[in-house]
A and B are shown apart, each in its own frame.
Chain A
Amino acid sequence: MEANNVNIVEQTQDPSKSPSGLRILWRELVRDKLALFSLILLTLIVVFVYGVSIILDQDEIVTVDLFAIHEAPSEDFILGTDYGGRDVFGQLIIGTRNSLTIGIAVTLISGIIGIAFGLVAGYFGGHTDNTMMRVLDFFQILPFTMLVIVFVSIVPDYTILAFSLIMAVFSWMGIARLIRSKALQEKELDYVQASKTLGTSNTKIIFREVMPNISSLIIVTMTLNLAANIGIESGLSFLGFGFPESTPSLGTLLSYATNPQTLEFRWWIWVPAAVLILVLMLAVRNVGEALRRATDSRQRRG
């Protein structure tokens, strides 16, 4: 009841704002304690990591120092050094930044592919949809991890962009499927039919009329995908098929733990990275789940 009143007050105060969509998402997010905490934590991590990495010199951190191999945490090195005498703490900061950046990049690229694919399939329906869904089925059944690894190892100029593209090419299917089924429902609504009779082109209807109406689904899915992509990237880097070692990621630090000695005795190299990956993934997921609840009115808490 109280929530309803708040709603009414807000509307009368600012009648030009739409209460649907983004505002509900935001309100729900703030009301969910865990999600709010996660959001604040995430913001702090992001600000800290991107802020500090401006000061840090990546080249200096990844330079091998043979006089400081495998040092335990000390005043010089807060989290000790790795087998090349490189500062683990510095790598952790830069690694987090790189992991986040690639996670976001992959989420955006795969999101764009998936959204466009899903919208087109759902909007046109019929044979177009049928054919496109068969293509999607095929992509979805491919052994993702293996193909990414193979592509990573055969691409000649291997850059961060290439890596993001390879990952995106094999991970757009989930969001495409969701968007497609939503678009199938949406296109039956009269506002879409109206736009057709008004002479608006299909492209315009898809991206200007339908897409804004499923923006909350897009935001939610992208957030949840971000969590997954951070995990996948660190996994691939862990196997040695993510970034090159000169560009540390959180997975790179974890890959040092494949050395039994490191795993058993030098926890400071890999445990912080493992914890950070977990914290990042959980926090992003908490935010995403809260957003998902917000889009489903039955599950709303506020």
Chain B
Amino acid sequence: MAILEVEDLKVYFPIKAGIFNRTVDHIKAVDSVSFSIEEGKTYGLVGESGSGKTTTGRGIIGLENITAGKILFDGVDITDKKSKTKDIRRDMQMIFQDPYSSLNPRKRVFDIIAEPLRNYESLSKLEEKKQVQELLQLVGLSPESILKYPHEFSGGQRQRIGIARAIALKPKLIIADEPVSALDVSVQAQVLNFMQDIQKELGLTYLFISHDLGIVKHMCDDIAIMYKGRYVEQGTKHDIFNNPQHIYTKRLVSAIPDINPRNREKQFRFRRDVQKEYDESYDDYFDDKGLAYGLQPISDTHLVALPERG
């Protein structure tokens, strides 16, 4: 069963001008996006910066106002901000991109991780402490560090604290907004593997937002590619990586670095070909405003933005 269903989501930011600050136009950060995530799966949302992937995630959890569309969570309509009741918030959590600004520098680790617990569960001081320590252990940090401040940890450790906070309430869905892009490459894999472990352990569903196709390939079951607020292509991992249809997707896939030096020449030629195809067939894949067309199904799982035929 789908735990999250998004239908025709639109998030527009107004452009204001004039004497009365009237809205004269909109920036269409997210423009008619639809998808659904199955329970226990990881859904990857990929795009360059400004493509609207982060806004999509923030719109779902209620950090941005939704202009139009419908969001169903566990079968319940949570489109309206007011309908994001405490229970919904409890089941849907977020991991932020920047582990430095996402932890309040004035609070101890204990208070940071206990914040959701205090909002939802009335635990005794002792139980609370025990839970926080368990959570710390779960994310691989020493339970003794509860009295430390965030600045005493490394970036990777801080992100683990952020994850501990997000899973404290045992949510069903976690929106992970570029959870590792602020980390050193050496730490990224560590955090990602840990996220996968925890997913199995707690049966989590991830909405995984990233600009890095390599990471998405490693993490996700289903993948969507976004460009200028619209979906370009959506499909299973296999669909996207082995059978990319849209020229934009092809270009992204071809850009994934290959560490084998023997393939260097081949890789180079491949990229040049893709670039050539991209330049030649740009008009076939984007409308006159440079936006992607509507999605057309090409298999049960695979959708591609193509001009309507005929």
Contacts and interface: CB of A to CB of B under 8 A. Distances in A.
Q: Are chains A and B touching in the complex at the 8 Å CB cutoff?
A: yes
Interface stretch (A15-23, A62-70, A148-156, A175-183): A15-23
A190 interface: yes
Tell me which of B102, B106, B116 has the highest count of chain A C-beta atoms within 10 A of its own C-beta. Answer: B106
A199 B102 contact: no
A159 interface: no
Interface in A208-233: 209, 212-213, 215
B86 A209 contact: no
A190 B63 contact: no
A15 B94 contact: no
Contacts of A196: 62-63
B165 interface: yes
B165 A18 contact: no
B105 A190 contact: no
Contact of A191 (B92, B94, B102, B120): B102
Given A191-B103, A212-B106, A213-B105, A200 B151 contact: no
B86 A197 contact: no
B119 A199 contact: yes
Interface string B52-69: 000000100111000000
B39 interface: no
A140 interface: no
Contacts of A21: 106
B120 A199 contact: yes
B119 A190 contact: no
A6 interface: no
A213 to B, nearest CB: 6
A190 B97 contact: yes
A18 B98 contact: no
B119 A200 contact: yes
Contacts of B94: 193-194, 197
Contacts of B102: 189-191, 193-194
B133 interface: no
Contacts of B278: none
Chain B: number of interface residues, binned into ranges: 20 to 34
A31 to B, nearest CB: 22
Contacts of B105: 18, 20, 191, 213
Given A20-B106, A191-B103, A191-B104, A198 B165 contact: yes
Contact of A199 (B90, B96, B103, B148): B90
Interface string A1-40: 0000000000100011011110000000000000000000
A131 interface: no
Give the interface SS of chain A, mostly helix, strand, loop or mixed: helix
Contacts of B97: 190
B115 A195 contact: yes
Nearest to B117: A198
Contact of A200 (B96, B103, B106, B115): B115
B147 interface: yes
Contact of A198 (B106, B107, B119, B152): B119
A189 B101 contact: yes
Nearest to A213: B106
A199 B106 contact: no
Contact of B104 (A11, A16, A213): A213
B115 to A, nearest CB: 5
Contacts of A15: 148, 152
Contacts of B106: 18, 20-21, 212-213, 215
Contacts of B58: 193
Contacts of A197: 61-63, 89, 92-94
Interface string B127-162: 000000000000000000001110110000000001
Interface in A223-281: none
B165 A194 contact: yes
Nearest to A188: B101
Given A190-B101, A191-B101, A18 B149 contact: yes
Contacts of B148: 15-16
Tell me which of B86, B101, B120, B148 has the highest count of chain A C-beta atoms within 10 A of its own C-beta. Answer: B101
A18 B101 CA distance: 16
Nearest to A194: B102
A190 B115 contact: no
Contacts of A215: 106
Given A198-B89, A199-B90, A199-B120, A193 B63 contact: yes
Contacts of A198: 89, 93, 115-116, 119, 165
A11 B103 CA distance: 20
B100 to A, nearest CB: 9
Contact of B96 (A16, A18, A194): A194
A20 B151 contact: yes
B132 to A, nearest CB: 14
Nearest to A198: B116
A193 B115 CA distance: 13
Given A191-B104, A196-B62, 7 more contacts: A16-B147, A21-B106, A189-B102, A198-B119, A199-B90, A199-B116, A212-B104
Interface of A: 11, 15-16, 18-21, 189-191, 193-200, 209, 212-213, 215
Please give me the 3 A-B residue pairs with the lowest Cβ-Cβ distance, nearest first. Answer: A190-B102, A212-B106, A199-B89
26 contacts: A16-B147, A16-B149, A18-B151, A21-B106, A190-B101, A190-B102, A191-B101, A191-B105, A193-B63, A193-B94, A193-B102, A194-B94, A194-B96, A195-B104, A197-B61, A197-B63, A197-B89, A198-B93, A198-B119, A198-B165, A199-B89, A199-B90, A199-B116, A199-B120, A213-B106, A215-B106
